[in-house]
Every structure is written in C-alpha cells, then in structure tokens.
A and B are shown apart, each in its own frame.
Chain A
Amino acid sequence: MTAATSPHGSAVHDVWRFRELWRSLVVRNLKVKYQRSLLGFVWTLLNPLLTVAVLVTIFTYVVRIPIPGYWAFVLSGYFVWSFVQQMLSTGTYVLAEHAPLRRSVAFPSEVLVLAAAASRLVEFAVELALALTALVLFLHGGVPASYALLPLLVGIQALLAVGLTMPLACLSVFYRDVQHALPVVLLVLFYACPVFYPASLVPEAARSVYLLNPIAALLTLYHTVLYEGRWPSAVLLGGTSAAAVGIAWLGYAVFNRYKRLFAEIV
C-alpha cells in the first residue's frame, strides 16, 4: 500500500545518499553555534571544564572520595557523560528545530539526528584531546597500551547515544513535555552513573545490576581504560558493545516506524 520510488521509500542507503546534507548540517550546526559568538570554540570547553573543576574541588576537599588522582578520574569520564547528556537534550528539539525544512523537502529525518551526533562528536574530540593530554602528561607519564581501545569506546558511545536519542526524538514530536521531563531523568541518571564516584564504590552485591545500565557500563570502561590504564574485562566490553549495537538497532527501528508521520505534526 505504500509508495515505491526514491523520495518515498527509505532505508540505510538513503542516509548515504544524503551524506552531503549530513556534512553540511554538521558544518552549519558548528557554525551557528560558534561563528557568531565572541569566544568561539572556547565556550565549548569552558562549561565542562568548570563543572570538572567544581566536582574535583568538592569531592577532593569536602566530601572525600578515596581514590588517588581524583582529578584524573573525573576527567576520564565526565566528557563522555556530558556527550550523552547533550545528545539526549538535542533529541528533544532537533526535529522541531528543522520542522520548516522537513515540511518543504522530503529527506530522511534521521539525518538530522545523525548530524547532531556528528557535531557533538567534533566537540567531544576536542575535549577528549585535552583530557588525554593531561592524563598522559600528569598521571601516567606515558601512553598506556589500553588507550588502543579508545576508538572502540568512542564507537560504543556514538551508537549508544544515537540509539537512545532516536526514540526520544520521536517521542518529542508527539509529546511536547518530553523536553521538560528529560532534565529530571538526566538528574537521576547523573547519580545512577559513575560520573563523580567510581563504580567500585557501589556495593558488590548490587554492582552487576548497576552495570546493566549501559551508560554506567560505558563510563566504567572509560575509567578502566583512561584512568587506570588497564584492559577492561572482556565480559564488560563485549556486553556493552552488544548492548550499544542492540540499542542503536532498536532505536532506529522505532524512528523508522514513526518518521512518516513527522511532517504532518505541526
């Protein structure tokens, strides 16, 4: 019953066909955000660095978290959390932001989410480079072998974030209060994930359940690889990778099912 040819059908190759749109949306996102603001790229770093500074001060001098080099611990996970958090927030408005474009041209809406992810990844890369420099120079005094896993971790992170953002973006089209509900969820998630405390402080009995949260698992992987400079357990790495792939697949399936209705929702 559905229509057959080019603007009407849609699949993964469609996303590839619109790669140029993807690329120019990324450039556009970054441009709109930074080009016309005075400090430019410095702004991306200021906010997360300030948060890191606050966390480090509080949990080193006030509430003492007993791990050596606490600053390095926070630095090795905070940007990952901030990436996930920003992706989810973006998901609640990205489709509404481009509503006029979606109503006047037919193109696969997932490109909008993917472009948002790609532009966030560019910002993340800058933050990560900074964190890596500090960790290598002041913590390890060299590059630990475990850092070879970084590309895999970033891959998991991207799949996970996109997989969670797609259904959220869908939901936001139909229900407008999603964007007001999300900060509450994020607040809970912030405490439910090892951002300012290590997963090792979670009681042994509860830890396996705790790590069922893929974001918590991802952060633990980052801590093991970047902060401890050790290889993570194969179970955790394999499990988290599988979860990321599964979530991305499921999220895309949900998005694909509902996206044909987007243009009609005003």
Chain B
Amino acid sequence: MLRLPAFIGGICCLAAAGCAPQVGPGGSGEKVAYLSDRTAGPNTLDPVQGSSVYDNRACTMVYQTLLQYKYLRRPLELAPLLLEQMPVVSEDRKVYRFRLKENVFFHDDPCFPDGKGRELVASDFFYSLKRMAQDSNQPKGWWLLKDSIVGFDEYRQQQNDAETFDYDVPVEGLKVINDHEFEIYLKQPLYRFTYVLAMFQTAIIPREAVEHYQTKFARNPVGTGPFRLERWDVGSQLIYVKNPNYWEEYYPADPGINKDGSEPYLGYSADKALGFYVDAGKRLPLVDRVELKFYVQAQPKWLKFRNHELDYTMVPAENFEEAYIKRTAKIRQEFVDKGIRSHAEPLLDMIYIGFNMEDPDFGGYDEKHKWLRQAIALAIDWDEWNEAIYNDLNILYDGPIPPGLEGHPEHHTLSHSYRGPDLPRARKLLAKAGYPDGKGLPKLVYYLSRGEKNPEAAEINQRNLAELGIRLDVRLVDFSTLTDALRNSRAPFFSLAWGSDYPDAENNLQLFYGPYKSPSSNNFNYDRPEYNALYERARVMSPSSERTKLYEQMRDMVIEDAPMIGSMARTRYYLMHERLRNFKPTEDFFNWPKYLNVAE
C-alpha cells in the first residue's frame, strides 16, 4: 500500500531527471547572450512611458536615439547613432541642424504594408517627440523637453486640450528640411539638450506601429534597433533576436596609442588587453539572440550565474565575501581559476537624506534652523550605514556632485562640510540652535521607500539621531506613496537616491533650483535667489573652468544651507564568465548588447 506513493515518487524523479532543459548556447551554432536584471521586469516597452533603468535597457535593444555614448571611451563622449554626424550648432547655440543617416530601416512588421519596414525619415523623429507631449500616452519624460523647444510647450497645451491629439500640426521649433535633414530651435541655449538626444525616451518610433497596435503598442515594439523582440514572458524574461535588416553599424575601430605614447582615452590599455578590439570593424550586432531574464530576488540570480546559466551578474552585497576578499576588494583566486572576470564600476549616484525647506520646524533659511539641520547632518553615521548595508564599498563624499564629474571635491571631502558622525560638534550646534539635547523639538517624520535594505538604514539613522536626543518617526512606505508625499511637500525628512541621467553635474544641481519646487524634481523645496541665479547662468554654458567654478559655488551653498545631507555613491561589482566577450559594464547607457560577442 505504501508502494503506491513510492511508485509515484519514483516516476516523478525519473521525469525530473529527464526534463532539465538544455543550458547553454542553443543548438546549430547560434550565438546567445544571457543577460539578467534585478527586477520584476519593465512595465512597458514604449519609450515614452519608460522611466526606470530596466525600461531603458529593454527599450534600447529595439529602439534607437539620435545620439549615443561611445561604448569604450571614458570619460563618456557622445557620438552620432542615427545621424550622419554630430548636430551642427549655431553660434548662439539655439539652432541645431541634424542630418539623418540614409538607408536606415525599421523592423519588418505587420504594421507596414507588405510587412516590410520602411526607411527612417526626419518626420519620424518629430513624431516621436510629439508623443512625449501627449498626456494620454502616460509619458514620464516630458520634463526633459519642458521649456526648451520653441513653440513646443504651447503645442502640447493646445493638443492636450483639444478633442484629439493631432500629430500633423506643425511646431515652430521643429522644422523639417527634407527627408534626412531637420532643424530644432531652442528657447535658450541649454547645454543639456544634447544629452537629452541620447536618452531613451526620445527614441524614434514609426507612426504605423502606434496606429496599428494602439493600446497594445507597449507590448509590440517596432524600431530601428539591432534586435527585434521575439517574446515577452511577463515577469520572467524578454527574448530578442537579431534584426536581419539592421543598417550598417560597425564595432568601433582600434584607435591605437597616440603618437606621443599617451593613451587615446582613460583605460585604453586595459581595454586592449582584455581583447575589446578583437572584433573591431565587424558588423553589428554580433550575437544572434539575447535572453534577458528577470529576478526579483538576488539569490536565484546569483546561483544561476554560478551555474553558468547567466553570462554576467552584478554581485549582490550579501554574496560579496563569497567572491571577493573584503579587505582588498579583489576577486578570489578560485573564481579567477574558473575564468570569471571582475569589474568594479563606480556609479554616478547620489544617496542622500533631504529636508523639506518649507517645513515650519526643520526648514527655513535663518541661522537657527540652519544650525539645526547641520547638527542633524553631523549626527548621521555614514560609516556605519556604509559598513552595515553596503559592505563598506560605497564612496562617501560631500555635496551633491557625484565622483567623476566637474565640481566633485578632490578626495571626496571638503573641510567646510558637515559630514557625520561628529557628535560633539552636533551637540554644540544643536544647543546653539536653541534645542539643547533635543529638548523642545517635535518628532521628525522620516519617509523612506520600502526597499530591501531601507528598514535597516532607518533603524541605524534612528539610533544615531537618538544619541542627539532627536526622535525619528520612521515611515516606510511604498514608492508611489513616497512620491505623493514629496509632491505635496508632506515629507519633512526623507531618504532617496538620485542616479544621474547624463554625465553632467547640472543634473544634480537642478534638484535645488527654485522653480523646480514640488511637484517637480526639487523635493527639498529649496529656493534661494542666489542659487537660482547661479544655476540659470551655468545651465547655458558649455563645460569650462568658469562653469566649474559656478558649480562649486552652488555646491558649497547647498552644503552650508544643508537642505540635503550627503552623500554616497555606490560601486557596482560585476562578474562575468569567460564566454562573454566585449563586455564593459556601465550603468550610464544600456544599448551595448549589440557589441557583445560570445565564445563557442
């Protein structure tokens, strides 16, 4: 009688043994790259609706923007992608003239007549920009174009109020010259406009696809990219295949050492030694298929990497000591012996705690409140935070400008900063502000999103501030509630991280610009006329030493007024198997899978 269950069990095991799917490259010599992301997956494949880095990665496989960043060069440099050459900018830097590449075709798709993709033309780009203006598309990237192109804001207002959104109505600042040439007129010479052209939200979309798929368009992407979407298993994986009609793009050529013996760019020799120029000159993309898998938890992802089912992975903090010797942050020998390579990539990252400057108790520009905020800043123990949650791997720095950008303090520290922990000084300032040992202060309500490590971070901060006598009322909320609270200026004290959208400190400094107060990105509601004036001057300048000086002034103002306590930048550690070639990890742009190659 007990035989029955045993029998069933036996059958199951046999079935199981025979059922393990093939792991590794697909049959018949097809080259497959196995990538992964730590997420439940993108919410949409419509660039206009995307906002997270996961949307970015998923979209840029299929869609392309006018500009891209050069893959291997550091510091980051923009280069034309769908353009023949970089845009020609007028003297006053308000007119940009573009020339599209010829013979770039959209993917073959049922939305086109005969299913054949047609050639890319100038009006396609304007169509894509206009889509970013249409509210019913749920665009998340409109703020990139806000107040920059002549006539565009008016067009947006007009069309959104009208019955139907008309894409054919012309916009003054968007002028088509012919099929491959067009001009854009800016209201002011914003320097960041060129960066915007490289951001995935401005990727080019064919009108036919949107009209054909309507609401299903977010699941049926049609672009000019090197890959086409084959399948999307929601919550599980995205499968892309090579676009057979991809236009002629080639792997970057080897620049060679300069005549005077110096490197053509930072890190060139390392790249060369790793074999990144072996495929120079080859036509892209180099692999036939890319499988992008999603994992909400770190552990399965890590185990799959160890099992060779994934080609690379970011190392989760909890497994760091498994792969690296913590003391030296060097990869362990046994991993090297297995052919695994390591790469450490510092991020353009700003992890900070912010104050709401309009809060009656903790905000305000007068000295008393300033001392109060500075005291709080001095009580936060960044070392402990770093140690407990990030394995002591983060870079701690003063001010809002991340490492690697103009304006970042040398050696990450400034003598006039208020970086904790420094309890004696904090106590003095707190007493000076009129709250000795925190007496007379109400509870400080602290908002954080319910991320994985945030409860621990909240506890650490709570403990540290208790040393000063300040009581924290910790509110762990989901991200949408946090966003809501910030938009409505309900959060007096909050923890956030800001990842740079492009490699320019302006992206961080705009967070303190008065006119961008809630409900825009200035969550601090910081509004100082002196700061605003500096910002307005700096944002129309191209990189120069004067501009850097302005950045430094702004940075120091922020440090002194303390609307923000910070900051920290994460460093990502990547591990990759020998099989994956040409992989130079970066989180600043995501269209690099086309450069990847796999060994057989």
* Same complex: no
Binding site for B on A (CB under 8 A): none
